[in-house]
Chain A
């Protein structure tokens, strides 16, 4: 029976590179997928591209390509990645030049274009923003980027045309993994169970180490060995749609039913309706079976229909956040921190800082869970406490005042405050609209070396 093996080479933009190399050298894989594009990353990449039209792709792309291109050729492993970010064209060009530099020939590099609809976003000014409940034309803040979440289709097309390396911008994460499965087994939307399994395979792989024991360990409760050598996952899927999740033998980490369950629910709302651009998947009857150490068999996913619309992710200039921190130690530390917070609050009012939302945290006590959950867990007294004050403002000048007032506690505040830090950041937020599927014009470009 025909089966293929797909590895996950990255789960976020800055992920480790060695596990990807290990997968290519020892994983006996046919495809490797690098998922490197979080929601907001593309808006930041778009700003880089505006400053320099040759930039705007993933910053680690050159290093990753230098490390893997030779292996791609030697082991005949196809590479799929969204490292194109806001500038897929430039990413294709850079990859081609690195291949040339390394003396590698006989590689076809494809770029998927069309996710970027920034130039035509005005067409959708009357569309409703999902998160804000207002129309796009009423969005308060300059739009920086607009990218459609594409599905697997154009990647499948590139594979059919013999591409060895496929670089994309915004594509739904699972689709990066579904594309080679759909291409190899020629599945269609009518294959409800198989397509559901393909989405699940992609979803389990998309965060790389998060299914092989990364983000899982809790000593004494859930032990995982050699996390510093964490191996990235492999899915081996056959033509029936059944698949196993595993990793390279001898690598660190762990694959078990439990690691798979945690990852399956990661960023999932209704498990019977998980939306991807290609199909709505149903994970509500999935089963995991530990068939040997680090090998889990996965069955039971299904799927429904194809969504009629595609989601567009819009990055915009939203606001500023100003923050300051300072630490207090020893007996009565918490009360000195509280006095400090009181001083800063009064000072900010006195100097007329214009702050939309204000927050006081005591790191070490309630910064993660606030009071009602934190209080029953807290010790009798704190050996140290770190005060953090933050605020959201419309103008940078108001955000600056917050950190300044915290810093001024050094000479003007309670006894023994130390390690003050301050920061101001411009906030680029993300919101979404939906547009008709046929409004998107996807194009595949090719370069050969």
Chain B
């Protein structure tokens, strides 16, 4: 199953750091994503894009995981060579992950 079937996401940017939220539509799926979508798994998934640490924060009250990817925006929004300098489309990439 792809994450897209049970969750939605938005990406934010600060300098060379991207944060990608993962939000379940239904709270019953929260424990599943908490178990399956670890920081290590996300780091491996974005290995060609993120060249730093991945941290995961949990917000249990609303069923949200927040992934913070260091060195993930090609040196920062201003100097990145990427077409999507802000990494705004990375949210859709995370939702392609199979669990």
Interface residues of A (CB under 8 A from B): 39-40, 130-131, 215-216, 218, 221-222, 257-258, 261-272, 283-288, 300, 318-319, 321, 323, 357-359, 361, 363, 367-373, 376-377, 388, 390-392, 427-430, 432
Per the bound structure, the CA–CA distance linking A131 and B55 in Å amounts to 18
Give 1 or 0 for each of B65-99: 1 = CB within 8 Å of chain A CB: 01010000011111101111000011001001000
Minimum distance in angstroms from B61 CB to a CB of chain A: 5
Q: 0/1 per residue, B28-54, Cβ < 8 Å to A?
A: 000000000000000001111100000
Q: Which residue of B lies closest to A269 (CB)?
A: B68
A370 to B93, CA, bound (A): 10
Which residues of B sit under 8 angstroms from A39, Cβ to Cβ?
77
Chain A residues near B13: list those with CB within 8 A: 267
Q: How far is the CA of A308 from the CA of B59 in the complex (A)?
A: 27
Given contacts A221-B4, A265-B12, A359-B81, contact A287 B96 (CB under 8 A): no
Please measure, in the bound complex, the distance between the C-alpha atom of A56 and the C-alpha atom of B23, giving whole angstroms: 40
Q: List 5 A-B contacts (CB under 8 A).
A: A285-B61, A321-B81, A363-B83, A370-B49, A373-B49
B64 and A265 contacting across the interface, CB-CB below 8 Å: yes
Q: Apart from A268-B12, A372-B47, what are 6 other A-B pairs with CB-CB below 8 Å?
A: A264-B62, A265-B64, A269-B66, A283-B59, A284-B59, A373-B93
Q: Which of B14, B62, B79, B89 contacts A267 (CB 8 A)?
A: B14
A270 adjacent to B57 (CB under 8 Å)? yes
Partner of A369, one of B15, B19, B93: B93
Q: Which of B15, B61, B79 contacts A287 (CB 8 A)?
A: B61
A373 touches B96 (CB 8 A): yes
Minimum distance in angstroms from A402 CB to a CB of chain B = 10
What's the dominant secondary structure at chain B's contact region?
A: loop
B91 CB, min distance to chain A CBs, angstroms: 9
- Judging by beta carbons under 8 Å apart, are A430 and B78 in contact? yes
- Of the candidates B4, B49, B61, B78, the one having the most CB atoms from chain A within 10 angstroms of its own CB is B78
CB distance from A132 to the nearest CB of B (A): 10
For B65, the closest partner residue in chain A by CB is A265
B side interface size, CB within 8 A? 41
Q: Give A319 to B78 CA distance when docked, in angstroms.
A: 10
Q: Which residues of B contact A261 (CB under 8 A)?
A: 21, 23, 62, 64
- A266 with B10: CB separation less than 8 A: yes
How many whole Å from B88's CB to the nearest CB in chain A?
A: 9
- Cα separation A288 to B57 with both chains bound (whole Å): 18
Q: Is the CB of B59 within 8 A of A286?
A: yes
Could you say which residues of chain A place their CB within 8 Å of the CB of B48? 369-373
Given A286-B61, A377-B96, A427-B79, A368–B84 Cβ distance below 8 Å? yes
Q: A368-B84, A429-B79 are in contact. Are A266 and B12 (CB under 8 A)?
A: yes
A258–B9 alpha-carbon span in the complex (Å): 10
Contact B10 A265 (CB under 8 A): yes
Which residues of B are found within 8 Å of A388, using beta-carbon distances?
83
CA distance A261 to B89 in the complex (A): 18
Q: Which residue of chain A has its CB nearest to the CB of B20?
A: A265
A265 touching B81, Cβ below 8 Å: no
Q: Are B78 and A40 in contact (CB under 8 A)?
A: yes
- Complex: how many Å from CA A40 to CA B86? 13
Closest 7 CB pairs of A and B: A267-B12, A265-B21, A370-B48, A429-B78, A262-B10, A359-B81, A390-B81
Q: A130 to B12, alpha carbons, bound, how many Å?
A: 19
Residues of B near A300 (CB, < 8 A) are 61
A263 and chain B: residue at smallest CB distance: B10
Expressed in whole angstroms, the Cα–Cα distance for A286 and B64 within the complex equals 11
In the bound assembly, the distance between CA atoms of A352 and B16 in angstroms comes to 30
Q: How far is the CA of A233 from the CA of B78 in the complex (A)?
A: 29
Q: Complex: how many Å from CA A285 to CA B66?
A: 14
